[in-house]
Amino acid sequence: EGLVLDDPSLLVERCLIGGRFVGDPVEPVVDPATGRTIARVPRLGAEAATAAVEQAQAAFPAWAARTAKERATVLRAWFEQIRAHRADLALILTSEQGKPLAEALGEIDYAAAFVEYYAEEAKRVAGETLASHRADARILVTREPIGVIGAITPWNFPAAMITRKVAPALAVGCTALVKPAPETPLTALALGELAVRAGLPPGVLNIVTGDAAAIGAVMTGHPAVRVVSFTGSTEVGRRLMAQAAPTVKRVALELGGNAPFIVFDDADLDAAVEGAIAAKFRNMGQTCVCANRLYVQDAVHDAFASRLATAIESLQVGPGTEPGVAQGPLINARALAKVEAHVADAVAGGATVALGGRRHPRGGTFYAPTLLIGATPTMRIAREETFGPVAALFRFTDEEEVIAQANASETGLAAYVYTRDLGRAFRVSEALEYGMVGLNTGLISTELAPFGGVKQSGHSREGSHHGLEDYCTLKYVLVAGL
């Protein structure tokens, strides 16, 4: 019922362990736009996760022993499969996640780009020889695959967060166990099906759905797993880091953000409005790099607010599969409740609702795109990630003041700055305690750049050649007696 795919076999309701699709479809996957169950997936736990780790462990030596070019060929075939099925994948993604179909297609292309990039990059993983301390010896440094990796991913980018971890890991010769978010397992399992069709050997990629805590505990506790790569909330990231301590595992964390978006009075206002819409309302505000605090300088504050209001009013709200829709439903009732609480708290603190500020007449988890004026640093919306379609405007006067406010956060993922003054552009982007800065742009994500944060936003980098490092280990061989 419901999902009409060109290739119906991409709707996979079983987990992938050791090259076989296993488990009973019991756990419902719900379309957030309609509340209807679109499919079911297995509810597996520690036993299945352990079996998957053992399959990955068994597959590791042969996969690691292949030449980089051979692994690249398989990854390239996976990329081609994803590209060929992009329409079906996007429809599956929108149906379980809610984002507009155009955005889902964008995500599938973005996800595929990581597979393509790391297929290419596999051939460029290199070591070095260093100056030796002995005349009769040479220092040889090689990069080796670290082993089995565990990847835990969130629901906001059901495809890209998987390929961004798995593609570099597989490229260097690691094997993987993936636990997708319970809200969005279907995109993950479809990617698994396509990996099998691409010729990925059994056990190299395993995907297990079910009990997050139990599967996570296997990943952090099993000695064969050498790195746990996690994208999600700071709270869960912190827990995984602690769980990984007894086995001294590497953890790669991409956690929450609370992005400042700063508009100086010399900015190109039209560009700033366009950037704010992209940075704030993409995925209904549910990305970790979404602008959360919009700081606007005095002289342009009112003009920016009125142009932004016009742009927000034009955002069409509805199911992601409906043509023209720019804003879908929020992922679930919990997300809706958080957005409502943040808006209520801001209003109680003196902010004005210029637009929205309430649930959307569509019902369900639809929320009206909102503009708040007069936000202040003590409000929840200033201190916590809202993860919803609420643009909160903070008025500021000078550069130092806004830098201090922007940095007054425990997180440090993405920041955005609009200015045409070259000196200010450098000063401010260097002063911001963030892993990424969008200067005169609201869109920063690409497979070609290192994505990641500082402070409690985590410390790993994904994308670009830096994205290989989490999955490599350096070996030093002293070649003596020459």
CB 101 within 8 A of CB 94: yes
Instruction: Compute the least distance from the CB of residue 235 to ligand ADP, in Å.
Output: 7
x/- map, 114-153, ligand ADP, by CB under 6 A: --------------------------------------xx
> Which of the residues 231 through 290 are near ligand ADP (CB under 6 A)?
232-233, 236, 239
Return the number of the residue (331 or 417) whose C-beta is nearest ligand ADP: 331
- Spatial distance between the Cα atoms of 60 and 38, rounded to a whole number of angstroms: 35
Q: Which of 18, 106, 127, 182: binder of ligand ADP (CB under 6 A)?
A: 182
Which member of 42, 154, 185, 357 binds ligand ADP (CB under 6 A)? 154
For the bound state, the minimum distance from the C-beta of residue 151 to ligand ADP, rounded and expressed in Å, comes to 9
Strand-pair partners of 207: 16, 178
Question: Residue 92 Cβ, how far from ligand ADP at the closest point, in Å?
Answer: 17
Residue list 160-179, contact with ligand ADP (CB under 6 A): 179
Q: How far is the CB of 148 from ligand ADP (least distance, A)?
A: 16
Q: What is the DSSP letter of 232?
A: S
Q: Of 89 and 241, which has the nearer Cβ to ligand ADP?
A: 241
Mode of pairing for the β-strands spanning 128-130 and 138-145: antiparallel
Minimal distance, residue 335 CB to ligand ADP, in Å: 8
Query: Which of 356, 425, 371, 53 minimizes the C-alpha distance to 226?
Result: 53
Query: In this structure, what token pair is assigned to residue 425?
Result: 């552009």
- Residue 144: φ, ψ to 5°: -115, 150
Q: How far apart are CA 283 and CA 286, in angstroms?
A: 5
254 a catalytic residue:
yes
Give the residue at shortest CB distance from ligand ADP: 216
**Residue 352, beta-bridge partner list:** 373
Task: Please state the closest distance from residue 236 (CB atom) to ligand ADP, in A.
Answer: 4
Q: In what order do the strands lie in the sheet with 390-396?
A: 352-355, 370-373, 390-396, 291-297, 259-263, 414-418, 436-439
Chain centroid, CA 107 distance in Å: 10
* CB nearer to ligand ADP: pick between 145 and 221: 221
CB nearer to ligand ADP: give 233 or 440.
Answer: 233
Nearer to ligand ADP among residue 71 and residue 164 (C-beta): 164
By the 10 Å C-beta count (0-12 exposed, 13-18 middle, 19+ buried), 313 is classed as: exposed
Interacting residue with ligand ADP among 181, 205, 262, 351 (CB under 6 A): 181
Within residues 196-235, the interface with ligand ADP by CB under 6 A covers 212-213, 216, 232-233
Number of residues counted as binding ligand ADP (CB under 6 A): 13
Residue whose C-alpha is closest to residue 343's, from 318, 365, 319, 374: 374
Q: How far is the CB of 286 from ligand ADP (least distance, A)?
A: 8
Q: How far is CA 12 from the centre of its chain?
A: 22
How far is it, in rounded angstroms, from Cα 449 to Cα 441?
15
Among 27, 103, 254, 447, which one carries the catalytic annotation? Answer: 254
Tokens 């599967």 appear where? Answer: 215
Return the number of the residue (137 or 213) whose C-beta is nearest ligand ADP.
213
Cα separation, 174 vs 371, in Å, equals 46
Q: Which residues of 371-402 are buried (b: 16+ CB within 10 A; e: fewer)?
A: bbbbbeeebbbbbbbbbbbbbbbbbbeebeeb
Q: Between 366 and 387, whose beta carbon lies closer to ligand ADP?
A: 387
* 239 versus 465: smaller Cβ distance to ligand ADP: 239
User: Are the C-beta atoms of residues 475 and 458 closer than 8 Å to each other?
Assistant: no
Q: How far is the CB of 232 from ligand ADP (least distance, A)?
A: 3
The answer to whether 149 touches 63, Cβ cutoff 8 Å, is no
| Footprint of ligand ADP (CB under 6 A) | 152-154, 179, 181-182, 212-213, 216, 232-233, 236, 239
Q: Tell me which residues are annotated as active site.
A: 254
